[in-house]
Chain A
Amino acid sequence: MQQKMQNLLLEVKGLKKYFPVKGGVFGRKVGEVKAVDDISFSVKEGEILGLVGESGCGKSTTGKSILRLSEPTAGEVKFEDQEITSLSGEEMRKLRRHMQIIFQDPYASLNPRHTVEKIVGEPLLVHGMNSTEDRKERVRELLEVVGLSSYHASRYPHQFSGGQRQRIGIARALANNPKLIICDEPVSALDVSVQAQILNLMSDLRDQFNLTYVFIAHDLSVVKHISDRVGVMYLGRMAELAGKNELYNHPKHPYTQALLSAVPEPDPDYQRDRIILKGDVPSPSEPPSGCAFHTRCPYVMDICREVRPEFREVETDHYVACHLYQDAVHS
Chain B
Amino acid sequence: MSKESLLELHDLHTHFFTDNGEIPAVNGVSFTLDNGEIVGIVGESGCGKSVTSLSVMQLVPNPPGKIVSGYIKFKGENIVNASPKRMKQIRGNEIGMIFQEPMTSLNPLFTIGNQLIEAIRFHRKLSKKEARQESVDLLKLVGIPRAEAIIDEYPHQLSGGMRQRVMIAMSVSCDPDILIADEPTTALDVTIQAQILDIMRDLNKERDTAILLITHDLGVVAELCDRVIVMYAGEVVEEGSVREILKDPQHPYTKGLIRSLPKLHGEDQKLYSIPGTVPKPGMGNVGCQFAPRCEYAFARCFKEKPELYNVGEKRTSRCFLYDNKEGDAAENAESTFGS
Asked if A324 CB lies within 8 Å of chain B CBs, one says: no
Asked if A248 CB lies within 8 Å of chain B CBs, one says: yes
Closest A residue to B293 by CB, please name it.
A193
Is there contact, CB below 8 Å, between B192 and A266?
Answer: no
Interface 0/1 of A60-72, CB less than 8 Å to B: 0000000000000
Residues of A252-293 contacting chain B, CB below 8 A: 258-270, 274, 276-277, 279-281
**Which B residues are in CB contact (< 8 Å) with A277?**
191, 194-195
Residues of B165-194 contacting chain A, CB below 8 A: 189-194
Is there contact, CB below 8 Å, between A163 and B262?
Answer: no
Asked if A199 CB lies within 8 Å of chain B CBs, one says: yes
A196 contact from B194, B220, B272, Cβ within 8 A: B272
Q: List 9 A-B contacts (CB under 8 A).
A: A54-B192, A191-B44, A193-B273, A194-B273, A200-B270, A248-B265, A264-B197, A265-B265, A277-B191
Given contacts A263-B219, A265-B264, A266-B218, contact A194 B277 (CB under 8 A): yes
**Which B residues are in CB contact (< 8 Å) with A280?**
159, 161-162, 192
Is there contact, CB below 8 Å, between B189 and A55?
Answer: yes
Given contacts A200-B271, A262-B190, A266-B221, contact A191 B278 (CB under 8 A): yes
Binding site for A on B (CB under 8 A): 44-45, 145, 159, 161-162, 189-195, 197-198, 216-223, 242-243, 246-247, 256-258, 260-265, 268, 270-275, 277-278
**A106 CB, min distance to chain B CBs, angstroms:** 13
Considering residues A161, A260, A277, A280, which has the most beta carbons from chain B within 10 angstroms of its beta carbon? A280
Asked if A197 CB lies within 8 Å of chain B CBs, one says: yes
Is there contact, CB below 8 Å, between B277 and A161?
Answer: yes
Is there contact, CB below 8 Å, between A54 and B274?
Answer: no
Given contacts A265-B265, A266-B246, contact A193 B195 (CB under 8 A): no
**Which A residues are in CB contact (< 8 Å) with B145?**
279
Is there contact, CB below 8 Å, between A224 and B219?
Answer: no
**Which B residues are in CB contact (< 8 Å) with A203?**
270
Asked if A149 CB lies within 8 Å of chain B CBs, one says: no
**B282 CB, min distance to chain A CBs, angstroms:** 15
Interface 0/1 of A212-225, CB less than 8 Å to B: 00000011111011
Asked if A192 CB lies within 8 Å of chain B CBs, one says: yes
**B158 CB, min distance to chain A CBs, angstroms:** 9
Bound form: Cα–Cα A244–B159 in Å:
31
Is there contact, CB below 8 Å, between B246 and A267?
Answer: yes
**B242 CB, min distance to chain A CBs, angstroms:** 5
Interface 0/1 of A147-182, CB less than 8 Å to B: 000000000000001011000000000000000000
Is there contact, CB below 8 Å, between A220 and B264?
Answer: yes
Is there contact, CB below 8 Å, between B256 and A199?
Answer: no
**Which B residues are in CB contact (< 8 Å) with A164?**
277
**A36 CB, min distance to chain B CBs, angstroms:** 18
A274 contact from B44, B194, B260, Cβ within 8 A: B194
**Which A residues are in CB contact (< 8 Å) with B218?**
192, 266
Bound form: Cα–Cα A163–B46 in Å:
14
**Which B residues are in CB contact (< 8 Å) with A265?**
219, 222, 264-265
B271 contact from A199, A219, A220, Cβ within 8 A: A199
